[in-house]
Amino acid sequence: MAQTAVLDYLNRFDEVQANFKAQELVDFMNGHIDIPVIIVALYLALVLYVPNVIMKARNALKCQSFFALWNFILTVFSVVGSFYTVPHIVSVIYNRGLRYSACAEPHEFYFDGRVGFWVAIFAFSKIPELMDTVFLVIQKKDIIFLHWYHHATVMLYCWHGYSQKIATGLWFASMNFSVHSIMYLYYFLGAIGARSLIRPIAPLITTLQLLQMVVGMAVTIASFVWSLDGEGCHVDPANSRLGLIMYTSYFILFAALFKKLYLTPGGRKKTADVTVGVEEKKRK
């Protein structure tokens, strides 16, 4: 009975994915551009006000189990997102070429259907991912600049990029899902006490993130250049400028972090409580 119910749910969920149409969501996002701005304002209040005022005289909350569960959920989410997006973009590149994968009208190759559903979920996932910071705040952990700067800017960028139907969106979603699959698994294993086992792969995660930023910059620049020739490219000029600034700043910050952690003598020891990665959560 339970197995039948699960299979029925999965079939209905697959039907929702298969029949997904992005335009209604695009219209909603364009009609509610105030939502991400309000969320960022509240988020900055969380980062800049709550730790120094509300939590200052309070004891840190113990939430190890919830923290582990949260990272496990994000790991599964990222793996499933990778399953749908990565093979699709590889197929598009192989069959239609790089330019098509970064310039074609999104409805032609990824905006609707199962892949489109997961790209849409990816764009919206940047809002609940702000919970990463909530865990830091209630545990009275340090919140470094890279952590909150990344969360705020990537959420704004994803909302803007999706609402403008940029062709490069599948590139960005595929890369982010892939890196997050490894990164959140790393956090999950650390949260359940397997830090000594996973510590050797920490430099790999930061290296993958640096590579993600390099590819992000390259795709953004290429699509912008292609948009200027006769054939054109389905990207928004403002979004391209914002994306280049975002990816470049991330690369600089990650490179500085990598140098501090792994190239500076004693750097890793001095920052033993800091995890690698965009979220930069403190080790448990």
Domain ranges of the chain: 31-54+61-270
Instruction: Look over the chain and give the mean of its residue pLDDT values, rounded to a whole number.
Output: 90
In this predicted structure, what is the pLDDT of residue 267? 60
Residue 278: pLDDT band by 50, 70, 90 thresholds? very low
The candidate with the shortest Cα–Cα distance to 246, out of 278, 205, 280, is 278
> pTM value?
0.89
Q: Which of 147, 150, 151, 180 is catalytic?
A: 150
> Are residues 173 and 119 in contact, defined by beta-carbon separation less than 8 angstroms?
yes
Query: Is residue 265 scored above 80 in pLDDT?
Result: no
Provide the CB-side half-sphere exposure for 205 (13 A, CA): 21
Residue 264: pLDDT band by 50, 70, 90 thresholds? confident
Residues 251-261, mean pLDDT to the nearest whole number = 93
Catalytic site includes residue 150: yes
Provide the CB-side half-sphere exposure for 118 (13 A, CA): 28
Residues 248-271, mean pLDDT to the nearest whole number = 81
> For a pLDDT cut of 90, what percent of the chain falls above it?
73
Least confident range of 19-23, 62-66, 132-136, 261-265: 261-265
Residues 172-195, mean pLDDT to the nearest whole number = 93
Note the pLDDT tens digit of each residue in 24-52.
Answer: 999 999 999 999 999 999 999 999 999 98
